[in-house]
Amino acid sequence: AQSVTQLGSHVSVSEGALVLLRCNYSSSVPPYLFWYVQYPNQGLQLLLKYTTGATLVKGINGFEAEFKKSETSFHLTKPSAHMSDAAEYFCAVRNTGNQFYFGTGTSLTVIP
Amino acid sequence: NAGVMQNPRHLVRRRGQEARLRCSPMKGHSHVYWYRQLPEEGLKFMVYLQKENIIDESGMPKERFSAEFPKEGPSILRIQQVVRGDSAAYFCASSPPNRGGLNTEAFFGQGTRLTVV
């Protein structure tokens, strides 16, 4: 069975600083991996995804993530945080049975 | 192509009433997922359905909750005899069949915020 662990339920960074949100997964087969963002009172929208091929994937709003099979990780980064990045971020994995498993989320606060 | 449509966006029910939450998936999507989100908590999986079939309902409470995805019409999440603890945001997501890495993500609706008074 798959599971997704997001280390740090709350992360605070200063505006302009590096954003690093951690995600580790457990999967017996190569998974499909996703990061979603949720703004207040909104649904989740896709930031980026990894399926196959290049392990460094770029998403919207300047975010990127790197799939590291040896570490079973898919950490999300952004070089310079903006105030508008404040939101809840969810890491997810999709298995071959078309089931999605989500982490518990990381709330990102950006300090002016 | 319209996104995943959920209605109503907000629903208020008195204790003991029934709540019906509707989800229309994106066109061409045959997979529907329901999640519950409580404040300060993540997304809790409830149920995964394909047309006319429940594939995985391991996250659904055994009593009072049911879900369907009929051949025609939206998916319905039904909560009978609601209690205050049912107050939460309920999200629906849909996805197309997995085709070798294409179209792999789930698309989410805006959610229904249920308040039980």
Q: With 90 as the cut, is the pLDDT of residue A26 above it? A: no
Identify all chain A residues contacting B104, using CB atoms and an 8 Å cutoff.
32, 49, 51, 94
pLDDT at position B1 is: 54
Cβ burial B81-98 (10 Å sphere, 16+ → b, else e): ebeeebbbbbbbbbbbeb
**Mean pLDDT, residues A58-78 taken together:** 95
Q: With 70 as the cut, is the pLDDT of residue B49 above it? A: yes
Q: With 60 as the cut, is the pLDDT of residue B101 above it? A: no
Q: With 70 as the cut, is the pLDDT of residue B104 above it? A: yes
3-state secondary structure of A49: strand
Contacts of B66 (CB under 8 A, 6+ apart): B60, B77, B78, B80
Query: At A49, which amino acid appears?
Result: K
Identify all chain B residues contacting A48, using CB atoms and an 8 Å cutoff.
none
Bigger pLDDT: B4 vs A53? B4
φ, ψ of residue B84 in degrees (nearest 5): -60, -35
Q: With 80 as the cut, is the pLDDT of residue A5 above it? A: yes
pLDDT at position A29 is: 67
Break chain A down into helix, strand, coil percent, rounded to 5.
10, 55, 40
Most B-contacting residue of A100, A104, A106, A109 (CB-CB within 10 A), to test interface: A100
Q: In chain B, which residue's Cα lies nearest the Cα of A52?
A: B101
If you ran DSSP here, which 8-state letter would residue B63 be given? Answer: S
Is A44 part of the contact surface with chain B (CB cutoff 8 Å)?
yes
Query: At B13, which amino acid appears?
Result: R
Q: What is the pLDDT of residues A72-99, one digit of tens each?
A: 999 999 999 999 999 999 999 987 777 8
Average pLDDT, chain B: 91
Identify all chain A residues contacting B108, using CB atoms and an 8 Å cutoff.
36, 43-45
**Mean pLDDT, residues A6-17 taken together:** 95
